[in-house]
Protein backbone atom coordinates (compact mmCIF):
# COMPACT_ATOMS: atom_id res chain seq x y z
CA UNK A 1 0.00 0.00 0.00
CA UNK A 2 1.26 3.47 -0.91
CA UNK A 3 0.31 6.84 0.55
CA UNK A 4 -0.18 9.72 -1.86
CA UNK A 5 -0.51 13.43 -1.16
CA UNK A 6 -2.75 15.45 -3.47
CA UNK A 7 -3.17 19.20 -3.87
CA UNK A 8 -6.69 20.27 -4.85
CA UNK A 9 -8.53 23.37 -5.92
CA UNK A 10 -12.29 23.68 -5.88
CA UNK A 11 -15.18 26.08 -6.29
CA UNK A 12 -17.17 25.66 -3.12
CA UNK A 13 -20.56 27.09 -4.07
CA UNK A 14 -22.14 23.78 -5.26
CA UNK A 15 -21.03 21.89 -2.14
CA UNK A 16 -22.24 21.52 1.44
CA UNK A 17 -18.64 21.86 2.58
CA UNK A 18 -15.72 19.46 2.61
CA UNK A 19 -16.83 16.73 5.00
CA UNK A 20 -18.96 13.82 3.83
CA UNK A 21 -22.52 13.97 5.15
CA UNK A 22 -25.76 12.13 4.57
CA UNK A 23 -27.87 13.70 1.84
CA UNK A 24 -25.38 16.45 1.03
CA UNK A 25 -23.09 17.07 -1.92
CA UNK A 26 -19.56 17.46 -0.53
CA UNK A 27 -16.04 17.84 -1.88
CA UNK A 28 -14.86 14.77 0.03
CA UNK A 29 -17.53 12.61 -1.59
CA UNK A 30 -16.63 13.91 -5.06
CA UNK A 31 -12.95 13.05 -4.67
CA UNK A 32 -13.59 9.66 -3.06
CA UNK A 33 -15.94 8.69 -5.91
CA UNK A 34 -13.25 9.65 -8.43
CA UNK A 35 -10.71 7.49 -6.56
CA UNK A 36 -13.13 4.55 -6.57
CA UNK A 37 -13.54 4.92 -10.34
CA UNK A 38 -9.78 4.46 -10.73
CA UNK A 39 -10.52 0.81 -9.80
CA UNK A 40 -8.51 0.96 -6.63
CA UNK A 41 -9.85 -0.11 -3.25
CA UNK A 42 -12.34 2.45 -1.97
CA UNK A 43 -10.56 4.59 0.60
CA UNK A 44 -11.34 7.48 2.91
CA UNK A 45 -9.27 10.60 2.41
CA UNK A 46 -7.87 13.00 5.02
CA UNK A 47 -7.64 16.73 4.35
CA UNK A 48 -5.46 19.44 5.85
CA UNK A 49 -8.41 21.62 6.81
CA UNK A 50 -12.16 21.11 6.44
CA UNK A 51 -13.99 23.93 4.69
CA UNK A 52 -17.61 24.99 5.20
CA UNK A 53 -20.39 25.14 2.63
CA UNK A 54 -19.60 27.68 -0.08
CA UNK A 55 -15.92 28.07 0.83
CA UNK A 56 -13.35 27.64 -1.95
CA UNK A 57 -9.81 26.24 -2.07
CA UNK A 58 -6.76 26.96 -4.18
CA UNK A 59 -4.39 24.70 -2.27
CA UNK A 60 -6.24 22.11 -0.20
CA UNK A 61 -4.04 19.12 0.66
CA UNK A 62 -5.20 15.55 1.22
CA UNK A 63 -3.61 12.16 1.65
CA UNK A 64 -4.95 8.77 0.65
CA UNK A 65 -3.62 5.21 0.94
CA UNK A 66 -3.99 3.16 -2.26
CA UNK A 67 -3.25 -0.48 -3.04
CA UNK A 68 -1.81 0.20 -6.48
CA UNK A 69 1.59 1.93 -6.86
CA UNK A 70 0.29 4.56 -9.26
CA UNK A 71 2.53 6.76 -11.35
CA UNK A 72 1.75 10.20 -9.95
CA UNK A 73 0.93 11.92 -13.25
CA UNK A 74 -1.35 9.05 -14.29
CA UNK A 75 -3.23 9.24 -10.99
CA UNK A 76 -3.58 13.03 -11.29
CA UNK A 77 -4.86 12.92 -14.85
CA UNK A 78 -7.17 9.97 -14.22
CA UNK A 79 -8.79 11.62 -11.22
CA UNK A 80 -9.27 14.87 -13.15
CA UNK A 81 -10.90 12.97 -16.01
CA UNK A 82 -13.40 11.35 -13.63
CA UNK A 83 -14.08 14.62 -11.77
CA UNK A 84 -14.71 16.46 -15.04
CA UNK A 85 -16.96 13.70 -16.41
CA UNK A 86 -19.02 13.83 -13.21
CA UNK A 87 -19.47 17.61 -13.51
CA UNK A 88 -17.57 18.33 -10.29
CA UNK A 89 -16.02 21.74 -9.57
CA UNK A 90 -12.83 20.12 -8.26
CA UNK A 91 -9.38 19.73 -9.84
CA UNK A 92 -6.31 17.78 -8.73
CA UNK A 93 -3.33 20.09 -9.22
CA UNK A 94 -0.57 17.68 -8.23
CA UNK A 95 0.08 14.21 -6.84
CA UNK A 96 3.20 13.05 -5.00
CA UNK A 97 4.25 10.01 -3.02
CA UNK A 98 4.08 10.83 0.69
CA UNK A 99 7.06 10.17 2.96
CA UNK A 100 6.66 7.74 5.84
CA UNK A 101 4.59 9.20 8.65
CA UNK A 102 3.10 12.03 6.58
CA UNK A 103 -0.45 13.06 7.50
CA UNK A 104 -2.14 15.90 5.61
CA UNK A 105 -3.78 17.22 8.77
CA UNK A 106 -1.43 16.34 11.63
CA UNK A 107 1.79 17.19 9.77
CA UNK A 108 0.61 20.70 8.82
CA UNK A 109 2.46 23.50 10.60
CA UNK A 110 0.58 26.46 9.10
CA UNK A 111 -2.61 27.11 7.16
CA UNK A 112 -3.31 30.19 5.05
CA UNK A 113 -6.63 31.77 4.12
CA UNK A 114 -7.61 34.74 1.97
CA UNK A 115 -10.94 36.56 2.12
CA UNK A 116 -11.97 38.64 -0.91
CA UNK A 117 -14.26 41.66 -0.53
CA UNK A 118 -15.50 43.40 -3.67
CA UNK A 119 -15.78 46.98 -2.45
CA UNK A 120 -17.68 48.93 -5.10
CA UNK A 121 -21.24 50.04 -5.72
CA UNK A 122 -22.16 47.62 -8.57
CA UNK A 123 -22.21 43.90 -7.84
CA UNK A 124 -20.09 41.48 -9.86
CA UNK A 125 -21.46 39.62 -12.85
CA UNK A 126 -18.36 37.43 -13.19
CA UNK A 127 -17.38 36.76 -9.56
CA UNK A 128 -20.80 35.98 -8.11
CA UNK A 129 -20.40 33.41 -5.29
CA UNK A 130 -16.65 34.13 -5.34
CA UNK A 131 -16.49 37.43 -3.40
CA UNK A 132 -18.39 39.26 -0.68
CA UNK A 133 -19.91 42.31 -2.32
CA UNK A 134 -19.83 45.33 0.01
CA UNK A 135 -21.20 48.42 -1.73
CA UNK A 136 -20.41 50.96 1.02
CA UNK A 137 -16.75 52.19 0.97
CA UNK A 138 -14.43 50.50 3.46
CA UNK A 139 -11.39 52.12 5.06
CA UNK A 140 -8.74 49.48 4.43
CA UNK A 141 -6.09 51.19 6.57
CA UNK A 142 -8.37 51.26 9.63
CA UNK A 143 -9.17 47.59 9.10
CA UNK A 144 -5.49 46.65 8.90
CA UNK A 145 -4.63 48.64 12.02
CA UNK A 146 -7.40 46.92 13.96
CA UNK A 147 -6.31 43.51 12.68
CA UNK A 148 -2.84 43.94 14.18
CA UNK A 149 -4.31 44.31 17.67
CA UNK A 150 -5.43 40.67 17.85
CA UNK A 151 -2.28 38.94 16.62
CA UNK A 152 -0.68 36.36 18.89
CA UNK A 153 -1.94 33.69 21.27
CA UNK A 154 -5.41 34.41 22.66
CA UNK A 155 -8.73 32.91 23.62
CA UNK A 156 -10.73 33.48 20.41
CA UNK A 157 -14.15 32.60 21.86
CA UNK A 158 -15.59 35.86 20.47
CA UNK A 159 -14.68 34.81 16.93
CA UNK A 160 -15.69 31.16 17.31
CA UNK A 161 -18.90 29.59 16.03
CA UNK A 162 -21.21 28.40 18.78
CA UNK A 163 -21.17 24.95 17.14
CA UNK A 164 -17.36 24.78 17.09
CA UNK A 165 -16.16 21.39 18.34
CA UNK A 166 -12.55 22.34 19.10
CA UNK A 167 -11.50 21.36 22.62
CA UNK A 168 -9.92 24.77 23.29
CA UNK A 169 -10.70 28.28 21.97
CA UNK A 170 -7.03 29.27 22.32
CA UNK A 171 -5.22 29.80 19.03
CA UNK A 172 -2.11 31.66 17.88
CA UNK A 173 -2.90 34.05 15.03
CA UNK A 174 0.37 34.60 13.20
CA UNK A 175 -0.82 36.92 10.43
CA UNK A 176 -3.89 39.03 9.73
CA UNK A 177 -3.29 41.55 6.98
CA UNK A 178 -5.77 43.77 5.17
CA UNK A 179 -4.81 45.27 1.81
CA UNK A 180 -6.56 46.89 -1.14
CA UNK A 181 -6.15 45.58 -4.67
CA UNK A 182 -8.08 47.87 -6.97
CA UNK A 183 -11.76 47.36 -6.22
CA UNK A 184 -11.04 44.41 -3.93
CA UNK A 185 -9.95 44.24 -0.30
CA UNK A 186 -8.11 41.12 0.78
CA UNK A 187 -7.96 39.88 4.37
CA UNK A 188 -5.18 37.30 4.67
CA UNK A 189 -4.84 35.10 7.76
CA UNK A 190 -2.22 32.54 8.77
CA UNK A 191 -2.06 30.21 11.79
CA UNK A 192 -1.29 26.63 12.64
CA UNK A 193 -5.02 26.06 13.02
CA UNK A 194 -8.26 28.02 13.12
CA UNK A 195 -11.54 27.67 14.98
CA UNK A 196 -14.82 27.07 13.18
CA UNK A 197 -15.88 30.32 11.45
CA UNK A 198 -12.92 32.20 12.97
CA UNK A 199 -11.76 33.87 9.75
CA UNK A 200 -15.26 34.84 8.62
CA UNK A 201 -16.04 36.18 12.09
CA UNK A 202 -12.90 38.31 12.12
CA UNK A 203 -13.64 39.63 8.63
CA UNK A 204 -17.21 40.60 9.57
CA UNK A 205 -15.93 42.50 12.59
CA UNK A 206 -13.21 44.23 10.56
CA UNK A 207 -15.86 45.37 8.09
CA UNK A 208 -17.62 47.25 10.90
CA UNK A 209 -14.35 49.06 11.58
CA UNK A 210 -13.93 49.76 7.87
CA UNK A 211 -17.42 51.28 7.79
CA UNK A 212 -16.61 53.43 10.83
CA UNK A 213 -19.36 51.94 13.01
CA UNK A 214 -16.75 50.45 15.35
CA UNK A 215 -13.66 52.27 16.65
CA UNK A 216 -10.35 50.54 15.96
CA UNK A 217 -10.05 49.68 19.66
CA UNK A 218 -13.26 47.62 19.55
CA UNK A 219 -11.54 44.74 17.73
CA UNK A 220 -9.28 44.02 20.71
CA UNK A 221 -12.04 44.82 23.19
CA UNK A 222 -14.30 42.27 21.50
CA UNK A 223 -11.51 39.67 21.60
CA UNK A 224 -10.79 40.29 25.29
CA UNK A 225 -14.49 39.99 26.15
CA UNK A 226 -14.41 36.29 25.14
CA UNK A 227 -18.11 36.65 24.35
CA UNK A 228 -19.65 35.53 21.05
CA UNK A 229 -22.24 38.30 21.37
CA UNK A 230 -19.46 40.89 20.94
CA UNK A 231 -18.58 39.60 17.46
CA UNK A 232 -19.66 41.51 14.37
CA UNK A 233 -21.80 39.79 11.72
CA UNK A 234 -20.16 36.70 10.24
CA UNK A 235 -19.00 37.36 6.68
CA UNK A 236 -20.57 35.06 4.05
CA UNK A 237 -18.62 32.03 2.80
CA UNK A 238 -18.46 33.29 -0.81
CA UNK A 239 -15.25 35.28 -0.36
CA UNK A 240 -13.24 32.76 1.67
CA UNK A 241 -10.41 30.75 0.09
CA UNK A 242 -8.23 28.05 1.64
CA UNK A 243 -4.99 29.13 0.01
CA UNK A 244 -2.24 26.73 1.03
CA UNK A 245 -0.70 24.58 3.75
CA UNK A 246 2.89 24.59 5.04
CA UNK A 247 4.76 21.44 6.09
CA UNK A 248 8.17 21.10 7.72
CA UNK A 249 8.99 18.44 5.13
CA UNK A 250 6.87 19.10 2.04
CA UNK A 251 6.46 16.10 -0.29
CA UNK A 252 4.42 17.93 -2.90
CA UNK A 253 5.55 18.56 -6.45
CA UNK A 254 4.76 21.36 -8.84
CA UNK A 255 2.56 20.14 -11.72
CA UNK A 256 4.87 19.36 -14.63
CA UNK A 257 2.31 19.61 -17.43
CA UNK A 258 2.67 16.02 -18.58
DSSP states along 217-233: HHHHHHHHHT-GGGS-P
Q: Given 29, 40, 52, 224, which residue is catalytic?
A: 52
Report yes or no: 241 and 13 within 8 Å, Cβ to Cβ: no
| 52 is an active site residue | yes
* Cα 154 to Cα 201: distance, rounded to the nearest angstrom: 15
Residue 205: φ, ψ to 5°: -70, -40
In a 3-state reduction of DSSP, which class is residue 29?
helix
Largest CA distance in the chain: 58
β-pair type (90-97, 152-155):
unpaired
Query: What residues act catalytically?
Result: 52
Amino acid sequence: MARFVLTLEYFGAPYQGWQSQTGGRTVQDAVERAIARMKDTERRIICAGRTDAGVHALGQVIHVDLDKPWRTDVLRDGLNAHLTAAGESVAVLSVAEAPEGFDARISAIRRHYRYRILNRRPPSALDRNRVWHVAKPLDCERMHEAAQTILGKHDFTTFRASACQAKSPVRTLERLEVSRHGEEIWVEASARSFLHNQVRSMVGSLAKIGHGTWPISEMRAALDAMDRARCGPVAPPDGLYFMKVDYAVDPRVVPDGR
